[in-house]
Structure 1
């Protein structure tokens, strides 16, 4: 009876050592990522004075209710969270439609000036956002959109990165599949909805995560166009809590912890599609 040959002990020892090093490295990276989040949760349950104690608190305290009450009184935080959720959800839906349609057009339609136009669009990835603030603010003023949701949502609907992501994903879709559907009498709208979109679910999930996080975390533009504290988004409301002489850090950290919940939920719901969506179209056959 033949026995399975065993690897030499030196190879086994090397494999065991590499496994230990890899596990140790991953554990260090996990700790580096998890410790700040843990301290954020712990600090959100302490008062401002306790947060700056030496050594800092490492266990939850009893001031969470007071911090939440302070948030509601000083920043109308319940309304602010609803504002951010509404703006982020509407933006994700509308920008997702725009980026998907634009990516499909750049990937599968041939028209004059397509490549130069796509190149000009990609310049938006390297132009700093601050360059466009003044002309955009002037446009919002002339449209009388200041302190409105549409002023926050509309300027970034055609996001260059979103269009680039969908274009790269749809480039991998075989042209023969689309031509076959057209030959069978499929209209362009039905072709897009029934043939193009189903294989794009991973890319759409990645796009949805990116768009939601982009709008949820946006600070500069909402700070410029939103004037009333009842229409603030979460980042703007938290920044407004920082006073000149006195700052309630307990309330700010509590608000930051609450603001991280929707982002975590969105990522956990769509995370299985996230990596495959980002890699879609990266490998050419």
Structure 2
């Protein structure tokens, strides 16, 4: 019996090890590729040892006038979208968790249905709407459609539902207004969920490619994923060393956000799932 359990454990670790290697290899390849020239990257004898071309690749990247402008655009869009999405989701979640109003259950059902719809379904009507109000080629064309996050509202609602009503009643007895209660009582108790939603939203906006590709036509307004994609357009000689260096630069903010907030992710996703 013990031997069978040990065998299953070893098999489990072996499978996990294989999946880990498969997941990590592309990242390692990209990091090593950023230190090599295009010819070295496609060499039959390519090794995973770093090369000597990183400075050259980075210099070529810096000389591309649109890359760091795109980096600035991506930072602005991701940060502003994250702040607005988290705050609006918290407000809506608080309303669903602690207030009773007409059609509340129907709206919750619609909210859950919206979570199941792929974003591609809304691309055409959203494109027509953004063009009709003259917002194309602006950061707000990327930011505003995403601030009403069904998943964000649901996460915040689940977390806030677990907060005792006695805390709110106590604050009201002390003379606190509704928005004061929301900002000073509710939000501090939801820090794990706020951090978790912030990470999810930031990473989603930072890696957003399809919608910016459709709605942003001017290179000065494009985000980093779109600019990096344009570097390998048809009919162009592609500098893959520079492209991998740009990709490496593009993932640094996501790594930093994840590293600093990783301890909140699991806590935030599961907070409110069990009451008591």
Taking structure 1 as the reference length, the TM-score comes to 0.89
**Aligned counterparts of 1:252 and 1:105: Cα–Cα separation in 2:** 46
Counterpart CA distance in 2 for 1:53 and 1:164 is 50
Find the aligned partners of 1:254 and 1:261 in 2 and give their Cα distance.
11
| Greater mean deviation of Cα atoms: 29-38 or 13-22 | 13-22
Deviates more, 1:59-68 or 1:243-252: 243-252
Which protein has the larger Cα radius of gyration, Structure 1 or Structure 2? 1
What's the CA shift for 1:234?
0.9
CA distance in 1, matches of 2:171, 2:218: 52
TM-superposed CA distance for 1:66, in Å, is 2.4
Instruction: Report SS of the residue matched to 1:244.
Output: coil
Match of 1:281 in 2: 272
Using the TM superposition, give the Cα deviation of residue 273 of structure 1 relative to its aligned residue in structure 2, in angstroms: 1.1
1:51 aligned residue (41, 51, 65): 41
Kindly indicate whether residue 103 of structure 2 is the aligned counterpart of residue 113 of structure 1: yes
Assess if the C-alpha contact under 8 Å between 1:50 and 1:57 holds in 2: no
Question: Within 5 Å, which residues of 2 pair with 1:64-75?
Answer: 64-74=54-64
Q: Within 2, Cα distance between the matches of 1:67 and 1:234?
A: 17
Cα deviation, residue 26, structure 1? 5.1
Cα shift at 1:147:
0.8
- Higher mean alpha-carbon deviation, 233-242 vs 223-232, is at 223-232
Secondary structure of the 1:261 match is helix
TM-fit CA distance, 1:183: 2.4
User: Aligned with 2:272: secondary structure?
Assistant: coil
Say which of 236, 240, 247 aligns to 1:256: 247
2:84 maps to 1:94: yes
Determine if the alignment matches structure 1 residue 242 to structure 2 residue 232.
yes
Compute the displacement of 1:59 (Å): 1.0
Alignment of 1:155-170 (within 5 A): 155-170=145-160
1:198 equivalent in structure 2: 188
Q: Distance in 1 between matches of 2:6 and 2:110?
A: 52
Deviations for 1:89-131, whole angstroms, at most 9, x for unmatched residues? 1111111111111111111111001110121122222222122
1:79 has 2:60 as partner? no
C-alpha RMSD over aligned residues: 2.1
* Deviation of 1:251 (Å): 1.9
Cα deviation, residue 193, structure 1: 1.3
Q: Following TM superposition, by how much is the alpha carbon of 1:28 offset from its aligned partner in structure 2, in angstroms?
A: 4.3
For residue 14 of structure 1, report the CA deviation from its aligned partner: 8.0
Superposition map of 1:173-212 within 5 A: 173-212=163-202
Per-residue CA deviation, residues 47-95 of structure 1 (Å, 9 max, x unaligned), is 2221111132311112222222333344621111111111111111111
Moved more, 25-34 or 192-201: 25-34
3-state SS of 2:190 partner: helix
Listed as ranges, the gaps of 5+ residues in structure 2 are none
Deviates most, 199-208 or 67-76: 67-76
Q: How far is 1:223 from its partner?
A: 1.0
Q: What is the aligned partner in structure 2 of residue 233 from structure 1?
A: 223
Bigger mean CA offset, 146-155 vs 33-42: 33-42
Moved more, 54-63 or 153-162: 54-63
CA distance in 1, matches of 2:134, 2:57: 36
Offset from partner CA, 1:125-181 (integer Å, 9 cap, x none): 222212211221122112111111111111111111111111111111112221222
